[in-house]
Amino acid sequence: MIEVVEDHPARGSSPGRARATPSTGVAPPTGWRRRVPAGSGRSLTVRDATAADRPALVEHYRRLSPEDTYRRFFSGGPPAAALVDQLLRAAEHGGARLVATSDDGAIVGECGYVPIADDDAELDITVRTHHRGWLGPVLLDALVDLARERGIRNLVAEILESNPRMLALVHRRGCVTLRHEDASIVVVAIGARHPVPDWPARRPPARSPES
């Protein structure tokens, strides 16, 4: 069972799953793109991922440290090919996948979400080491904006308690902390439609331990 235990409101805002694959009722547009200054006259492009990004995405995951791989996938090795393909096809099932690419086409960060229940979606983010500290917040902001445009109510994430960088990122953005029965996992929710997460009247959401 998950229950709300703490609010982390975004600066300047007021405070305050059973797994499924519901349709958001919104047909996802294509071609989402944003240019991001990267310092020293350089910039990155944050955009919808496509099937053509598969080799670069595989390489991006391969370059993650074993610790970062575990924190992202809760497993000891890079994702299987089938999972990478599934992530790239997220939009076909009401989800999204964004990549941040440098001018040479390398992926230096990526993020996305997959729908769960009640128009919520589960988010994830990875950023290459040399772009950390600034690109994570940019990607999270972009993902929240995209989720809002595509009809998502809240973005939810399961984060290992041993992942302070990710916890700091979502707390800085503004989130509600939800309790998970596994004490090593922190579940957070970020409002997409509104600054503060909201759920149907019968919730905050509940989830069985195995889901």
Kindly report, residue by residue over 53-97, the tens digit of the pLDDT.
999 999 999 999 999 999 999 988 899 999 999 999 999 999 999
Confidence check: pLDDT of 110 > 80: yes
Residue 207 lies in a domain: no
With cut-offs at 50, 70 and 90, classify the pLDDT of residue 28.
very low
Q: How many domains are contained in the chain?
A: 1
User: Looking at the domain assignment, is residue 201 inside a domain?
Assistant: no
What pLDDT, on a 0 to 100 scale, did the predictor assign at position 42?
86
Note whether residue 177 is domain-resident: yes
Q: Which two tokens stand for residue 37?
A: 């200054």
Distance CA 134, CA 137 (A): 6
The pLDDT tens digits for 145-196 are: 999 999 999 999 999 999 999 999 999 999 999 878 888 999 999 999 998 8
pTM of the prediction?
A: 0.80
- Write out the residue range of the structural domain in which residue 108 sits: 4-191
The CATH code of the domain that includes 124 is: 3.40.630.30
Residue 10: pLDDT above 70? Answer: no
Q: Is residue 49 part of a domain?
A: yes
Q: Cα(123)–Cα(166) distance, rounded to whole angstroms?
A: 12
Nearest to 118 by CA among 23, 37, 190: 23
